Each structure stands twice: as C-alpha cells, then as structure tokens.
Amino acid sequence: MLLAAPAETPPHTGGLLALIPGTAGLLTVAALGIALLLFLIIKVRLQPFVALLAVSIAVGLGAGLSVTELFGTVQKSDAVSLIESGMGGILGHVAIIIGLGTMLGAILEVSGGAEALSSRLLGLFGEKRAPLAMGVTGVVFGIPVFFDVGIFVLAPIVYAAARRSGKSILLYCMPLLAGLSMTHAFLPPHPGPVAAAGLLQVDLGWVILMGVLVGVPAVLAAWAYAAWIGKRVFVDVPQDMVEAAEEAKAAVLAEQRAAGTRPPERPVAVGTVLAIIGTPLVLILLATFSSIALDPSTLRSVIEFFGHPFAALTIALLLAYYLLGLRRGWSRKSLETVSTASLKPVGNILLVVGAGGVFGAVLKGSGVAEALADAFDSVGLPVLLLAWLISVVLRVAQGSATVAIVTTAGIVLPLIEGAGLSQAYLALIIMAISAGSIFASHVNDGGFWMVSQYFGISERDTLKSWTVLETVLSVAGFVTAALISLVI
C-alpha cells in the first residue's frame, strides 16, 4: 500500500468526537477540514503545501488521533507515523517520474525541438490550417513539458502565425493552449495524473491509455470551441510581448554562450523528437499489456523491466542526452547545467503532492475516510461523477489543479478500496478527477493570468475564451470517461 496505516486503527474518542459521536463526528471533521483548507489557501493565501499539512494535522487531531500516531516518537525511530508514511509513500512513486520527465522536457525545449516540431507541422498543414497545426504542436510538445513552459517556448510561434495571417491571436493560441492543457491534465509524466495514480495504485500504462482515449475527444471539442471563439473575438498580437520574447530569447542565448552551455546551431530532426517523446509511452504500454497477454516468462520479465516507468523514462532521457545533446555538439557540462536548472521549479510541486499523500493517510488512519465512503455511498451517485464533482468544487474554489487532484484522490480512495474495480476503471476515475481539476479556470488560477498576459487578452475576453475552453475540455473529458466506463 502506498498509504500505509496501522493494521488496526484503535477507536478514537478525543477531538470533536467527544462532542459529536460516531460517523456524524467524523463527517463534521471532514467538512471542517476541507473548509479550513479552502480558507487557508483563498483568504489567508497560505502556501498550498503548508495549508495541506496543517489541515491534515488538524483533521487527525479533530478525529481523535494521538500525537504519537500522527508524528511518531523520537524514542522509536523505526515506528513510521501517518505523516511519514503518507509523504514517503506517494513521493517514492511520484518524485522519480516527475524528476525524469522534467529533465526530459528541458532537453527537448532547449535543443529547439519545439520550434522544429511546430515549423514542420505548420509546413505540413499549410497557412489555412495553421490553428490545427498549433493545436497538434501543443499536444505533442505538451507530453514532456509543463504547461507554463510550453506557453513560454511556443508563444513566439503563435505571435508569428497571427501576424502573418492578420487574424485574431485567439485563433492560434487557443488550440495550442487546449493541447497543452489536455496533456497536462490527463497524461503522465505530468504531476496530476501521476500523483493520482500513486494514491489510487493504478498502473501508469492504464493511465496513459485512458488519458489518450479520454483526452483526444476532449481536445477535439476544445479545438472546435477555439475555432468558433477565434472568429468572433478579435485580439491583436501584443507587440510588447513580442518584443519582450525576442529580448528574453536573445538574453538566454547570450547567457548560454557565455557559460559555454549553448550547443552549435544544428537543426533538430522532427522524427528524433517524436521518437524520444514516444519511447517511454510505448515501453510503459507494452509492459502493461504484457502482464495481461503473456504468461510469466523471461520475455515478459524483460518487457516489464524496460516498461517500468522509472526505466522507460530513464531510457528516454538518455536518448535525449545523446541524440539532442552529445551528437549535436553539446558538452557534458551543458547537459548537467540544463538538467539541474530544470529541477528547480519541481520542489513546490513535489511538496504539494506529498502533502496530499499525508492528507489521504490521515483520512484513512483516523476513520474519516470510511465515514466519507459510507456517506457518499448513501448519496447514490456513481463514483466517477462524485470524483469529478469534488474535483470541480475544489478547483473552482481555490484555483490549483494539483491541489484539487491530490485532495480529491485522498477523499475518493476509501470509496474504491475493496470494491474490486479493474485497473482500467480506476484509470477512468483518475481521468474524472483530472477533468474536474481544469474546470473553469478563472481569476484565482495562475494559468488564467499567464494566458491573459502572454497573449495580450483582456480579462473579459480571457473569461470568454480561455475559461470557457477549459470548461469545455473538462466536461468533454468527463463525458468521454463516463461513456467508456459503460463498456469496460
């Protein structure tokens, strides 16, 4: 189990249970805990990691857990507390995947892979289908890189396409954003689906498969809306952002040359980029289905070894180091510098994910999770719908998709334990949670302001375009997941 709890949880009589007995007390603790989490993030503006950790402790104490159960004791160093098991269990699975994926994305970004890919797609699709080319670029390049990095790298290409056509920049940036957002929400190695897979103990191969099956129809629906709104709301190319992007690029190039980390200018082969991105996905999927199609054998063991997410991503990263780095003239120092720099923004993500693991462990160890499971079961709604609704509420209330995912996964976990659900169905539950986490991006979401500022869109037009686009992506993703659940 990733979220280990004591084998037998003793009855707790302290905290709020002293006043409100039984299940009612546990449900009160859960409700107050979620309310406190939202208050700390929205009103107090507390960092999400700190807020999640504080609420986990408060919920545990409120439900009657002892300090020893929460924190362990200094005398018994071998005794693992709920906080330690929750944090360590999830990060042991997630940290390696996110770290390797982040370094892979950085090499693809700095090597010029994104520019080569978008240029080739623009050439293939032609000027009339440039918006579709931007959308496909967002999907492919969005697999290995974070959402904000994708915007930073690809925004200048959007500016150029919009200037050439003289049409609204929404026609080009919205398909791109839909592609980046879809991969960020539904596909590993992005933090959300990886964290949910770790919490719910789902094989990443199933998450990738369901992410594709759910994400493709969702992004097609989002592209349809992007085409519609792009023709009705005109937004000119932001000249100040164009100039700022050019200055930033020149500064980065100068800094890289001065530090000796800029490789010689050689074009990147698009086939190489696609092969590197596709390698870990194919290996992980092969390992997943070999466990179903093949009897235990040496061949199956080899496939499962290379298809383990840790091994698959390591292979892809080493391929990127050689094909995009060393073979094109990079020094080993350059590779080290780029890889190390890429990990700096990851710390906050990992801490938030770890705190979500703590929250789930405390809910389970205190008995709150079982009470929540009973309460939700009595409501009678399908777990897929409940997962999406809970994620939507948390997303709209506090803005962070990662917080919405890890919190929802902790709440949903007791609903599915012991239910005998297949890995495929559990992966669909993750898709529902992920879909809910991108619903209605608005002013409390950093992504809203990033889109508004990078593409020069007013707040009103951002609400009409980006916010609705994210809602379409969320609803279409959930509906697709629900339809697939009917046949598996």
Give tens-digit pLDDT for 100-126.
999 998 888 888 888 888 888 888 998
Contact 202, 430 (CB under 8 A): yes
Tell me, rounded to whole angstroms, the distance of Cα 5 from its chain centroid.
Answer: 26
Residue 7: what residue type?
A
Burial class of residue 8 in the structure, from the number of CB atoms within 10 Å of its CB (0-12 exposed, 13-18 middle, 19+ buried): exposed
* Separation CA 98–CA 195 (nearest Å): 9
Per the CB < 8 A criterion, the answer to whether 371 and 23 are in contact is yes
Q: How far apart are CA 223 and CA 212, in angstroms?
A: 16
Residue with token string 């809203």:
448
Least Cα distance to 219 among 186, 172, 171 occurs for 186
Structure tokens at 462: 């951002």
Residue pair 198/94 in contact (Cβ under 8 Å)? The answer is yes
Two structure tokens written together for 315: 């292979």
The residue assigned the tokens 């093949």 is 294
DSSP letter (8 states) at residue 66: -
DSSP state of 328: G
Instruction: Report pLDDT for 213.
Output: 97
pLDDT in tens for each of the 488 residues of the chain?
233 333 334 444 445 444 454 678 888 888 898 899 989 988 898 999 999 999 999 999 988 888 888 887 655 555 568 888 889 888 887 899 999 999 998 888 888 888 888 888 888 998 889 999 999 999 999 999 889 888 988 988 899 889 889 999 999 999 999 999 999 999 999 999 999 999 999 999 999 999 999 999 999 999 999 999 999 999 998 887 777 666 666 665 666 566 555 555 567 889 999 999 999 999 999 999 898 888 899 999 999 999 999 999 999 999 999 999 888 888 888 888 888 888 887 888 899 989 988 988 888 888 887 887 778 777 788 999 999 999 999 999 988 899 999 999 988 988 888 788 999 999 999 999 999 999 999 988 989 999 998 899 999 999 999 999 999 999 999 999 999 999 98
Q: DSSP characters for 160-192?
A: HHHHHHTS-THHHHHHHHHHHHHHHHHSTTSHH
Q: Which residue has the tokens 């994708």?
A: 150
DSSP 424: H
Residues 6+ apart with CB under 8 A from 443: 449, 459
Q: Are 102 and 343 in contact (CB under 8 A)?
A: yes
Crossing angle (nearest 10°) for helices 82-110 and 147-165: 30
Residue 91 phi/psi, 5-degree rounding, is -70, -30
Instruction: Check residue 3 and give its pLDDT.
Output: 36
pLDDT for residue 7: 35
